[in-house]
Structure 1
Amino acid sequence: MRYRNQYRKITSREKRSDKQETSGNTGEFSLHPILKDNLHQIRQELGNSPDVIIREFELGSSEVEIAVVYNSGLADKMMVGDFVMRSLMIDSAEKIYKNMESDKNIFDFIKNNALAVGEVKVINDWNGLILSILSGDTVILINGWVKAISGSTRGGESRGIEEPSSQVVIRGPKDGFSESIGTNVSLVRRRIKSPNLWLEPMKIGNVTQTDVAIMYIKGIANDKLVQEVKQRLNDIEIDGVLESGYLEEFIQDQTFSPFPTVYNTERPDSVAANLLEGRIAILVDGTPFVLIAPTTFFMFFQSSEDYYQRYDIGTVVRLLRFFAFFIALFGPSVYVAAITFHHEMIPTPLLISLSAQREGVPFPAFVEALLMEVSFEILREAGVRMPRAIGQAVSIVGALVLGQAAVQAGIVSSAMVIVVAITGISSFATPTFNMAISVRLLRFLLMITAATYGFYGIAIINMMIIAHLCSLRSFGIPYMAPLAPFIPGDQKDTLIRFPFWSLMTRPRLVSQKKITRMEHDQQPSPPKQKKGNTDES
């Protein structure tokens, strides 16, 4: 009983100092000095949720009332049991009881000596307490104190590291980002073991309080660019952020554009490569897709595998992607324009064959192409949304059956089926999904102008697209760099890829600090033979 009275004297004195410390906080958000009131308020705030576990007990023989609060679905239960509950109830209980005799601060002793978790912090306000519980931390409340202790025990169920599904490579790392921002950060740090790799966390979303982190390499990334990214993120006022696409619409330079101005990827090696070039990565908790800024048009045609193969193979494959891009964009419109207006541009034998095929078709070429393109897009979307086990089979069989039936019914010609099939296959050659969607949208616009004005309409729309691309910016960086403006030193990794030993500098517009990647030319050469040193036969 003597110890309990002594404890009351200590807590009353500390309580007065705590009131002075927390006087700057809003009164309605401060914690109560009585433990029962705090627990009652937690249950009310969280709606008596069954996944919020509250464990009340006394510290050893001291009769000091204490409570441990955590969320069973967000916290690691094994960590809570072994490193918090066991530590307080068994390992440190008697030490705390003995230290009370010497008039020591029990709160500081628990914070500094009684918890075997990595991250421990003090909570002085109510909003911080609720946020810690909902973030997966374990909160420790002591009767008589108007502040709490939060220990990092975040865990719970999460998806493991798997191969990326949207950016598949044959040669290269097979690990991909998951929905845990901590796991994603570790995957990048595993590749870049540098103290200059900085991480700046923040929370966005008034309701969801989503964890967002900015990652960049200090000394390589442009400081003004880093400040611009942070400013745009801090200006976001929204209830919730459920995916990185939410942030992409707020921070992009141009809203009304079919072309993406922020790059997204779920490959850690791709993020590491862009960080080394001076770009900035934006990681969002709850999604495996990481945003990269700034970006250029040519980044969407570069794959991580281009740098894992020989430079000549990577160059040929990259040029093939650009060729497929033009087929996917202009294929149907060129066919419609040639069939409708420009018969003289088609060789005579081919024109006779096409005319024979279209003899029984009741629709003009534009309507024919429009029907096939819309049908193909429906099949593609249905194949994506259907269960994975039958989605591919249904899309393939549906395309074959639909095309063959349409030709036999005389609705479309065989040539149109071939054009639409080649166009659809070419659109899949683009490594990034959002750029492929842009091509699909612009293809219909080109078909309309081709059916109206022929090749003249295609040329006009083409010039408008090029002008629009040259006017775009991504965080102030020209979208068509390094072609517009033309930078000769950056052409080594744009349309083609030079060997690694020739890529001595980083992109000049992106990284304006520490541009040099390697100190000198490292072109390999065969060993030189010394004079007079010949092989004896």
Structure 2
Amino acid sequence: MKFKLPFKKKQQQQPYKEMNAVKEKVELIAPSENDFTQLIKDTTNNPADLVIKSIPPNLTLIYINNLVNDQTLNEHIITNLQNNFFETPEAIWPILSIPEVNISSQLEETIASLLNGSVLIYVNGYSQVVLAPIPKRESRSLSTPENESQVIGAQVGFNESLSTNISLIRRYIISPNLCNEELKVGKRTHTSLSLLYMNGIASDQMVNTLRQRIQDVDVDSLLDSAVLLEMIDDNTLSPFPQMLLTERPDRFCDGLLNGKLGIIVEGSSLAIVCPIAFVEFFESREDQNLRWQVATFARLLRFTAIFLSVFLTPIYVGALTFHYEVIPQALLVPLSESRALVPFPPVFEALLLELIIELLREAGARLPTKIGQTIGIVGGIVIGTAAVQAGITSNILLIFVALSALASFTTPSYTMGNVIRLIRFPIILIAGFWGFYGIMLAFCFILIHLLRQSSLGAPYLSPYYPPRLKDMRDSIIKFPLPFVAKRASLTRPADQEKFDPEPVKPEKS
């Protein structure tokens, strides 16, 4: 049974219907200058940065000072309109050297354009207004991705500007088949987002499903793509993410070219890619730039690290609590000596150390960069040494916990790495109560949970469940390039062939 949160369905429609009814009563623009300016002030709550400027003999300019480009306003609008008499709003249109100029008589459309950085040009005595969009977009410059770094490959990441992110994608994919649908989410924020996919590759059914899920989101505000991801997940109560958050344009475009769908939200530097399989969270974009032998080794190393991160400490706890017989005889004496002064049971000792590691990680992430690195290194050394000398913990467990924490950071996806660190705590508790039987019970529970999950309707454990042998060529083990010429069936692509698997052989001279 899949659980859905109540905000995914359209609730509380009556208050919004009443608001829309009020808007419809004042929808038309007033033909009087005083009435029109007063209506704009009332509708926008008369903000301090609202500018109303009269241009003789019969024009009025209205704009929000912090949203328009001042240079364009002075050079292309005010200069061209001064000392000219315009009989109708249509006469202004040819004078302005600005693209996308529009004329509107609807108040709602006019206010929306004003809040998006347009200048309202009002001709006295007419119930129409000219909308001249000259937005000023403040955004930081492009930088390298901080959470998905790589050595070989592109070194640029998304920023918070939707238009900049779209331009980055179009630099990678120069094709008329790249579809970009603009949608709005949030009754109060009216946040813009783009749904992107490749026409002729992406499944139409998946495109329609994702579009419908976005349109069904009924919230007041949307400030980040991570919030949207939680609202459109297949199972919002699962700790495992069913869609990928990435800050890399190359990984985003690679997903589009393989039949996946992408979402970019205005104001967010993270893009959403779906559908996604569980094993893909442990694959790096850099794997595509490496030889298949090196990429396979890196992937096997990551999956080994994930196993160690989740089960190494619980195995230690279970062995010392219930199963001494599995410990090699050569290790019994060192283990006994290291735990001779420890007054706590192994489960409490392990949880205490794991909690200290997580506190150090959280403190290092929240503090400024230079201070955070110092706290992480010095704090770990000082606290670990002091804990062993004080007899609070054993030095062998300290090594295991440090190794588990280090292994958890090998996951390329930050969201999946957080889940790996989270599920380690309940498994340690279960191992302290039931030993290895509890560990196997927890493993079976996690496996059954993953088998029941899906990503945009696609199986979450693909290509291993249901088994698809051809798709396994580029999962945990990466096959040579000629063996992965077809797109994975996870996305149900309309075009399965990526390239001709037969290599071009040079002619012998």
- What is the identity, as a one-letter code, of the residue corresponding to 2:235? Q
Q: Which residue of 2 aligns with 1:56?
A: 54
Q: 2:502 aligns with which of 505, 515, 522?
A: 522
Q: Which residue of 2 aligns with 1:75?
A: 68
Q: Which residue of 1 aligns with 2:222?
A: 241
Residues 431-470 of structure 1: pairs in structure 2 closer than 5 A: 431-470=412-451
Instruction: Tell me the SS of whatever aligns to 1:122.
Output: strand
Contact 2:89-2:122 at 8 Å conserved across structures: no
Q: 2:482 aligns with which of 480, 501, 514?
A: 501
Instruction: Tell me the SS of whatever aligns to 1:189.
Output: helix
- Which stretches in structure 2 are left out of the alignment for 5+ residues? 1-22
Q: Which residue of 1 aligns with 2:59?
A: 66
Instruction: Tell me the SS of whatever aligns to 2:491.
Output: coil
- Asked if residue 42 in structure 1 is aligned to residue 40 in structure 2, the reply is yes
Q: 1:316 aligns with which of 285, 297, 310?
A: 297
Instruction: Tell me the SS of whatever aligns to 1:232.
Output: helix
Shift of residue 524, structure 1, vs aligned partner: 5.7
Residues 120-269 of structure 1: pairs in structure 2 closer than 5 A: 120-269=101-250
Alpha-carbon distance in 1 for matches of 2:137, 2:198: 31
Alpha-carbon distance in 2 for matches of 1:123, 1:246: 34
How many residue pairs get matched? 487
- What is the identity, as a one-letter code, of the residue corresponding to 2:427? L
Shift of residue 319, structure 1, vs aligned partner: 1.3
- What is the identity, as a one-letter code, of the residue corresponding to 1:76? N
Alpha-carbon distance in 2 for matches of 1:331, 1:133: 58
Over 3 Å counting, the alpha-carbon distance change for 1:155 and 1:400 in structure 2 is same
Over 3 Å counting, the alpha-carbon distance change for 1:85 and 1:502 in structure 2 is farther
Shift of residue 208, structure 1, vs aligned partner: 0.5
Alpha-carbon distance in 1 for matches of 2:284, 2:376: 26
Contact 1:87-1:116 at 8 Å conserved across structures: no
Contact 1:120-1:151 at 8 Å conserved across structures: yes
Shift of residue 465, structure 1, vs aligned partner: 0.8
Alpha-carbon distance in 2 for matches of 1:507, 1:79: 48
With 374-383 and 126-135 compared, the bigger mean Cα shift is at 126-135
Instruction: Tell me the SS of whatever aligns to 1:29.
Output: coil
Alpha-carbon distance in 2 for matches of 1:163, 1:76: 28
- What is the identity, as a one-letter code, of the residue corresponding to 2:78? M
Alpha-carbon distance in 2 for matches of 1:403, 1:453: 28
Q: Deviations for 1:433-452, whole angstroms, at most 9, x for unmatched residues?
A: 11011111110111011111
Contact 1:254-1:472 at 8 Å conserved across structures: yes
Shift of residue 337, structure 1, vs aligned partner: 0.8
Over 3 Å counting, the alpha-carbon distance change for 1:311 and 1:88 in structure 2 is farther
Contact 1:176-1:267 at 8 Å conserved across structures: yes
Q: 2:343 aligns with which of 340, 354, 362?
A: 362
Alpha-carbon distance in 1 for matches of 2:370, 2:60: 49
Over 3 Å counting, the alpha-carbon distance change for 1:299 and 1:139 in structure 2 is farther
With 237-246 and 137-146 compared, the bigger mean Cα shift is at 137-146
Alpha-carbon distance in 2 for matches of 1:381, 1:494: 32
Alpha-carbon distance in 2 for matches of 1:328, 1:455: 16
Alpha-carbon distance in 1 for matches of 2:497, 2:159: 33
With 146-155 and 471-480 compared, the bigger mean Cα shift is at 146-155
Shift of residue 245, structure 1, vs aligned partner: 1.7
Contact 1:209-1:240 at 8 Å conserved across structures: yes
- Asked if residue 335 in structure 1 is aligned to residue 316 in structure 2, the reply is yes
C-alpha root-mean-square deviation of aligned residues, in Å? 1.6
Instruction: Tell me the SS of whatever aligns to 1:48.
Output: coil
Q: 1:28 aligns with which of 26, 32, 41?
A: 26
Alpha-carbon distance in 2 for matches of 1:308, 1:67: 58
Alpha-carbon distance in 1 for matches of 2:117, 2:27: 21
Q: 1:89 aligns with which of 76, 82, 90?
A: 82
Q: What TM-score, normalized by structure 2, do the two folds share?
A: 0.92
Q: 1:325 aligns with which of 292, 306, 317?
A: 306
Q: Deviations for 1:289-319, whole angstroms, at most 9, x for unmatched residues?
A: 1111111101111111111222221111111
Shift of residue 429, structure 1, vs aligned partner: 0.4
- What is the identity, as a one-letter code, of the residue corresponding to 2:458? I
Shift of residue 109, structure 1, vs aligned partner: 2.7
- What is the identity, as a one-letter code, of the residue corresponding to 2:409? F
With 439-448 and 116-125 compared, the bigger mean Cα shift is at 116-125
Over 3 Å counting, the alpha-carbon distance change for 1:503 and 1:79 in structure 2 is farther
- What is the identity, as a one-letter code, of the residue corresponding to 1:29? E
Alpha-carbon distance in 2 for matches of 1:420, 1:313: 28
Q: Deviations for 1:27-47, whole angstroms, at most 9, x for unmatched residues?
A: 312211112222222223333
Alpha-carbon distance in 2 for matches of 1:250, 1:529: 59
Q: Deviations for 1:458-514, whole angstroms, at most 9, x for unmatched residues?
A: 111101111111110111100001110111111121112223333211111303301
- What is the identity, as a one-letter code, of the residue corresponding to 2:289? Y
Alpha-carbon distance in 1 for matches of 2:99, 2:477: 48
Q: 2:393 aligns with which of 400, 403, 412?
A: 412
Contact 2:151-2:286 at 8 Å conserved across structures: yes
Contact 2:242-2:460 at 8 Å conserved across structures: yes
Residues 343-382 of structure 1: pairs in structure 2 closer than 5 A: 343-382=324-363
Alpha-carbon distance in 2 for matches of 1:245, 1:123: 35
Contact 1:35-1:66 at 8 Å conserved across structures: no
Alpha-carbon distance in 1 for matches of 2:128, 2:482: 58
Q: 2:364 aligns with which of 352, 358, 383?
A: 383
Q: Deviations for 1:210-262, whole angstroms, at most 9, x for unmatched residues?
A: 01111111111111111101111111111100111221121101122111001
Point out the structure with max Rg over C-alpha: 1
Instruction: Tell me the SS of whatever aligns to 1:333.
Output: helix
Contact 1:74-1:157 at 8 Å conserved across structures: no
Shift of residue 338, structure 1, vs aligned partner: 1.2
Alpha-carbon distance in 1 for matches of 2:507, 2:75: 64
Shift of residue 529, structure 1, vs aligned partner: 4.3
- Which stretches in structure 1 are left out of the alignment for 5+ residues? 1-24, 101-105, 531-537
Instruction: Tell me the SS of whatever aligns to 2:489.
Output: coil
Alpha-carbon distance in 1 for matches of 2:61, 2:250: 40
